[in-house]
Structure 1
């Protein structure tokens, strides 16, 4: 994955600070909320966050940024140490600090402070760009991209270059493989009426032509991203794979970082945008830049990997809130109307629905050679996309009993012509006071029946037979 040299991230690092708390009263001297602070967290933002996310996606990353001698700069150095290689430009002043005050997870106010002048390019910066396999420019308009701009124009002719712009910054250098403004930035950079997909597509194509960029991806939040090019007759809309509910802070950095990683690995812009949209949705769903797993030593799963809800954490949180945890299970080898009806009905029973699905090996033992028809990764993705499903978890054994003992749902749902008491799962549920129920199945719908019909259709119509003498 790292063959050919590192991904070089060029741009303005920031220090993002979140002051989290609760509000239950107003101040006596003014009608403003009083925040009782419960946590005070700081982490790299801007180009620093983009570099961290690219490194978590498996790349060797070099970050070219301006840092000073202040406490905020040192905090960023500490957080980046051991994760990315740092090539510094001098900063005459203090590193910008963005402080959000949040109550109940919702921002109340943001305070920005700090800033300074970026020093000249060094030989270390030139060497880093000369050895780059791909480049991401995270331009927050604070001087780093401008200082390095004369070198970036040549780099764009040699390797893939992704430019994440900002209205305060300068334009991308000509030849950028992909530019990634969000909808508000595109509107600020290119005037035009409306916020329809057509308006976003027009702005994207106009900006691509103005910047002489190969392509522009206008990110649309939970709607996904719209990929355009200067002479594209039809833009490509890449929708988000599922509704991602969470803190969107840093989602744009995640999108640009994962797109740059994909291009560094040889992907086309279309493929890069698809991977970036999926990764950004997973990033937001996991808590965004506030996700503590992002800042643990060594990190965890790659930022670009799908991050379905943690079934065990979900069950625990629903129980803690006094809710009802519902679970069901099966192979789900070919999702059909019978499955969808069962899952919709099961979800209405309680406050969350967790689907337990057989792994490929488990399914093969159960159904025989030739199965599964659909690999586990695809089955999990399809199930997770259903509005009725809150989480999916796989089990390797022939039955889900061991998983159920760990998950401890309040209700276990099965579909079909079963007797609830005869189900092997029923005894497991009774151990903690759970209930097993059977829901009716849509008649005539089954994976086996679909597979047989597909096989008959693939073999063509049967030859006509001579009439009986």
Structure 2
């Protein structure tokens, strides 16, 4: 099966993260002193989008202005690991975005370079590339690519295969693009710039109304307004659909918009409708944030591995480090959680009170089948994980294979391992793993009368008599 061909057209940046620790302030001002522990550079803007698409298995070509300076050459080298680069002329020095970070938080951001406007555009080359692509992603970062007349002329004939990720300093999409993906602030500003009000009844219009109005103003086939942790609002034809995030995602949101746009573009290219593409994009963007965002790119395995975290998930070691950075003890528990019931919820809520973060190690479908029999699980692992992530007390869910979670625990190394029920801790194989790295095992009681097996048995024999009064 041939790989999906995507052409990413846009503005590139060089992202630098300066990471360190802070334990004092300067004597001459109330400013923190950062002791630097590492400096990491990686492609941003359209460069990040290209790497994300390559990590998803696509055949990627990046068309972008790239400066002829050391940072521009570094950008090219990093992207060419995974994608073909067609450089355009670049006005000024490479645009850089430097974040100074400590403990998973950004203290200050410094932007430099630019303006990055295209100075030479080989129109025939661009036309040949976009004509042959399954999908074109326009990644606008305000450098001037979307305002270039030659590029707009080459994008207009293929607008039906274009996903446009806009920027407040960029130009609006060419008419007829398949999907535009502004965030709420960008969408409101674009409506105002277009001479249309973004107000509703007695206040600002909701994202759903903004999406519908902007889709009409821009002349897009579909438009998705991304609303951060809430999800996305898709205006497609005469209706608006809401795609919620699959549970809470606490982490670095930097790059989530790129993750969203790339996932939507590839899903459309592979035959999905707009609604399905946006739903997948929301799931992937949530996973990206949960896995640590662009900061996690610096810890991916191997110098030539383009796939960033977010879809397949981060390593257990990286997950533990990220959660511990929030403060408090790392708590873990495990089980099948085939039909989530009140006993499960009570146990999870109590487990969360034992520390600062709670990770659930979830038996895979094969593991549940081996433990419970051929008729189980009732719900696939992806569905069970989604239900668990929707609980406010659960910070992350990790699916494992095998009869017990000992191997996963050896890598996660939680401070506390929680089990629910009447166990003899001496018989738990995972006890020795947890205690071996200095952790402890805590037992919590089950809620009487609550078990998945009992619920399934009752459902096979009819409703409970004490519930008949509720009918």
TM-score tier, shorter chain, comes to 0.7 to 0.9
Partner of 1:299: 305
Partner of 1:443: 448
Alignment check: 8 A CA contact 1:6 1:60 kept = yes
CA distance in 1, matches of 2:12, 2:408: 44
Partner of 1:212: 219
CA distance in 2, matches of 1:222, 1:211: 25
CA distance in 1, matches of 2:319, 2:253: 20
Alignment check: 8 A CA contact 2:91 2:114 kept = no
1:334-349 mapped onto 2 (5 Å cutoff): 334-349=339-354
Partner of 1:132: 133
CA distance in 2, matches of 1:318, 1:137: 34
Partner of 2:191: 190
CA distance in 2, matches of 1:226, 1:40: 37
TM normalised by structure 1 equals 0.85
Task: Find the structure with the greater CA-based Rg.
Answer: 1
CA distance in 2, matches of 1:402, 1:41: 31
1:38-437 mapped onto 2 (5 Å cutoff): 38-104=37-103, 105-118=105-118, 119-145=120-146, 146=148, 147-157=150-160, 160-191=161-192, 192-193=198-199, 198-229=205-236, 231-232=238-239, 235-291=240-296, 292-293=298-299, 296-299=302-305, 305=311, 307=313, 310-315=315-320, 324-401=329-406, 403-404=408-409, 407=412, 409-420=414-425, 435-437=440-442
Alignment check: 8 A CA contact 1:89 1:122 kept = no
CA distance in 2, matches of 1:293, 1:407: 16
| Structure 1: stretches of 5+ with no match in the other structure | 459-469
Q: CA deviation at 1:181?
A: 0.8
Three-state SS of the structure 2 residue aligned to 1:453 is helix
CA distance in 1, matches of 2:408, 2:301: 29
CA distance 1:407–1:11, change in 2 (3 Å): closer
Three-state SS of the structure 1 residue aligned to 2:263 is helix
Q: CA deviation at 1:302?
A: 6.0
CA distance in 2, matches of 1:334, 1:252: 34
Q: CA deviation at 1:260?
A: 0.7
Alignment check: 8 A CA contact 1:275 1:304 kept = no
CA distance 1:407–1:63, change in 2 (3 Å): closer
After superposition, the CA RMSD in angstroms is 3.2
Aligned length: 451
Alignment check: 8 A CA contact 2:138 2:165 kept = yes
Q: CA deviation at 1:432?
A: 6.1
Three-state SS of the structure 2 residue aligned to 1:254 is helix
CA distance in 2, matches of 1:120, 1:320: 45
Alignment check: 8 A CA contact 2:159 2:174 kept = yes
Three-state SS of the structure 2 residue aligned to 1:62 is strand
Three-state SS of the structure 1 residue aligned to 2:215 is helix
CA distance in 2, matches of 1:430, 1:101: 37
Alignment check: 8 A CA contact 2:99 2:106 kept = no
| Structure 2: stretches of 5+ with no match in the other structure | 193-197, 464-471
CA distance 1:403–1:130, change in 2 (3 Å): closer
Q: After the TM superposition, which of the residue ranges 209-218 and 36-45 deviates more from structure 2? A: 36-45
Q: CA deviation at 1:404?
A: 4.7
Residues 143-189 of structure 1: CA deviation (Å, up to 9, x unaligned): 323231111110114xx210011122111111111101111111211
Q: CA deviation at 1:127?
A: 1.4
CA distance in 2, matches of 1:410, 1:56: 33
TM normalised by structure 2 equals 0.85
Alignment check: 8 A CA contact 1:19 1:100 kept = yes
Three-state SS of the structure 1 residue aligned to 2:458 is helix
Partner of 2:195: none
Q: CA deviation at 1:80?
A: 0.7
CA distance 1:61–1:373, change in 2 (3 Å): same
Q: After the TM superposition, which of the residue ranges 420-429 and 34-43 deviates more from structure 2? A: 420-429
Residues 69-128 of structure 1: CA deviation (Å, up to 9, x unaligned): 222221111111121111222224333223334455323242332225421334322211
Alignment check: 8 A CA contact 2:286 2:310 kept = no
